[in-house]
Amino acid sequence: VNGESIRVLVVDDELGMREGCRKVLAPEGYSVETAADGVAGLELFKDRGDFAIVLVDLNMPLMGGMELIDHLRKLDEDVVIFVITAYAAIDTAVEATRKGAYGYIPKPFTPDELLLPIRQGLERRALTIEARRLREERESRLLEVALERSKSSTIIGCMTDGVLVINRDRQMVLRNAAMTRMMPRCAGLPLSAPMNTLKCPELESLIEETLCTDSGPVIASRELALDKSTYMVNASPVLEPNGLVTGAVVVLRDITALKKLDIAKSMFISMVAHELKSPLAAVVSQLSLILDGTVSGDAQKERHILDRCLLRIDALRTMVSDLLSLTAMETGRFTIKRSALNISEVVSAVLDSYKEKAQDKHITLEMARAPDADKVRVLADRESMMMVFANLVDNAIKYTPDGGQVYLSVECNGVFLKVSVRDTGIGMTAEEKERVFDEFYRVKNEYAVHVPGTGLGLSLVKKLVEMHQGHVSVQSVPGKGSTFCVNLPLTG
């Protein structure tokens, strides 16, 4: 009864019967309501459907007891219904129970003859309600487990790493989509296929290492090259609570891109070493000519040798500073101080500093300066911009034979400022064009081999321009000339 009052509905057309029930039940803590016929009883029940017990008389006006039982059952499967009747007969009792009545109370009755069956009925009601609650809880837990399972299999399925699970009998028990992509052979094999059908001895030996863990569990790792890709493979044991190994989980991670980066880095270092070595070797051999007395006494020859050494050392110094700038940019340590610049003015200053060099080669160096280009501004670092245009003008002069022409133009084109450096020089093939912005790339033709340089200038130009959200491109015709265009975004 738990202190809360249990609601009882008495439906009987005899007032004496209704009040009699109330007199017995109210002192026991039940909260009793009454109705004089089936229709009124049903209304009361519908109004507040929380009656635990209904006592029903069979013979009533408007709606009889049997019909009322039918309605009540449909409304509430837990309510405990007792039939009260003076006309005790087996067949009515049977029919009432068939319709869902719990018991049968013959009238007249003593208080105990009413209270006892009601107590039993309540106990039975509590039991069914509890049983149903348990069943529902179990079902919802089962649902949870099923959801949990489908969640983990969805996660494993979506993983970009390949996952393969092998049991202690060396059979495949799980593989995800990424795994079948990495090892297409996997896809054709049924689950529980022995792992040696994968035909990958490296993988097998790794799994063996994990499964045979006499000296405690180990996670075995190795690189694996399959097809055109490289994978980092980690195999770890699956342990039972008692420490026994029941299988292995193998995870394959695609490290092809990292591997390529690693190789590129090593190549870069060996290129740098090579580029440093040849000028140093040249300087050493030139200086030994003086030291071992080969040119002793000839002041003019000695001077010539020292001049050449200085030239090589100067080129080395430029290269080292270019390298430092390039690596600083890559590691994000290269700082630029941006201000609203008149690029026309910067280009013109660069041009002035190359006048002499152009004159030496009888090259005409000219600039077309559109008036509107002088009015606009670009948010840029002055020193970086000087470097960019100096490199382009330097190349144009370097790779143009005596008597040629170099034209510069600055113009506004929509939201960009466009600077072009055009020359009538040796030009380059489509293939060479593709690679000029690569570090250390230099064209190896008859003209270019005699031109000093390290192949870092244009890679620096590209990085600097891109740091300013700009873009650099090249057009060229072999034997006719090249045009380099730099586009920089305008302010506001």
Ligand X SMILES: Nc1ncnc2c1ncn2[C@@H]1O[C@H](COP(=O)(O)OP(=O)(O)OP(=O)(O)O)[C@@H](O)[C@H]1O
Q: Which stretch binds ligand X (CB under 6 A): 218-226, 337-345, 350-358, 452-460?
A: 452-460
Nearer to ligand X, 395 or 487 (CB): 395
Q: Which of 10, 428, 464, 465 binds ligand X (CB under 6 A)?
A: 428
Q: Which of 18, 175, 418, 442 binds ligand X (CB under 6 A)?
A: 442
Q: Is 299 helix (H, G, I), strand (E, B) or coil?
A: helix
Q: Which does 425 bind (CB under 5 to 8 A by kind): Mg ion, ligand X, none?
A: ligand X
Nearer to ligand X, 55 or 388 (CB): 388
Six token digits for residue 122: 């309540």
Six token digits for residue 288: 């030994």
Residue 433 makes CB contacts below 8 A (sequence gap 6+) with 474, 476
Q: Which of 52, 344, 423, 488 binds ligand X (CB under 6 A)?
A: 423
Taking CB atoms within 8 Å and a gap of at least 24, the contacts of 210-216 are: 210/235, 210/236, 210/237, 210/245, 210/248, 211/166, 211/168, 211/170, 211/237, 211/245, 211/247, 211/248, 213/237, 213/245
**Strand partners for 252:** 162, 233
Distances from the Cα of 10 to the Cα of 49, 78, 94, 95, angstroms: 14, 17, 21, 20
**425, 399 Cβ separation under 8 angstroms:** yes
Least separation, in Å, of the C-beta of 327 and ligand X? 15
Nearer to ligand X, 249 or 485 (CB): 485
Q: Is 303 helix (H, G, I), strand (E, B) or coil?
A: helix
Q: Which of 426, 464, 472, 486 binds ligand X (CB under 6 A)?
A: 426
Q: Which stretch binds ligand X (CB under 6 A): 23-31, 233-241, 331-339, 392-400?
A: 392-400
Q: Which of 18, 457, 463, 487 binds ligand X (CB under 6 A)?
A: 457
Give yes or no for residue 425 binding ligand X (CB under 6 A).
yes
Give yes or no for residue 395 binding Mg ion (CB under 5 A).
yes
* Cα three-residue angle 318-321-324, rounded to 5 degrees: 150
Q: Which does 455 bind (CB under 5 to 8 A by kind): ligand X, Mg ion, none?
A: ligand X
Buried b (16+ CB within 10 A) or exposed e, 14-27: eeebbebbbebbee
Q: Which of 117, 425, 427, 457 binds Mg ion (CB under 5 A)?
A: 457
Give yes or no for residue 279 binding ligand X (CB under 6 A).
no
Nearer to ligand X, 20 or 457 (CB): 457
DSSP 8-state secondary structure symbol assigned to residue 76: -
Q: Which does 487 bind (CB under 5 to 8 A by kind): ligand X, Mg ion, none?
A: none
- Nearest residue to ligand X by CB is 457
Environment class of residue 244 by beta-carbon count within 10 Å: exposed (0-12), middle (13-18) or buried (19+)? exposed
Give yes or no for residue 409 binding Mg ion (CB under 5 A).
no
Least separation, in Å, of the C-beta of 328 and ligand X? 16
Q: Which stretch binds ligand X (CB under 6 A): 46-54, 153-161, 328-336, 457-465?
A: 457-465
Six token digits for residue 236: 């770890």
Give yes or no for residue 114 binding ligand X (CB under 6 A).
no
**53, 118 Cβ separation under 8 angstroms:** yes
Q: Which does 454 bind (CB under 5 to 8 A by kind): ligand X, Mg ion, none?
A: ligand X
Question: Which residues contact Mg ion (rule: CB under 5 A)?
Answer: 395, 457
Q: Can you give the binding site for ligand X, defined by CB under 6 A?
A: 391, 395-396, 399, 423, 425-428, 436, 441-443, 448, 453-459, 482
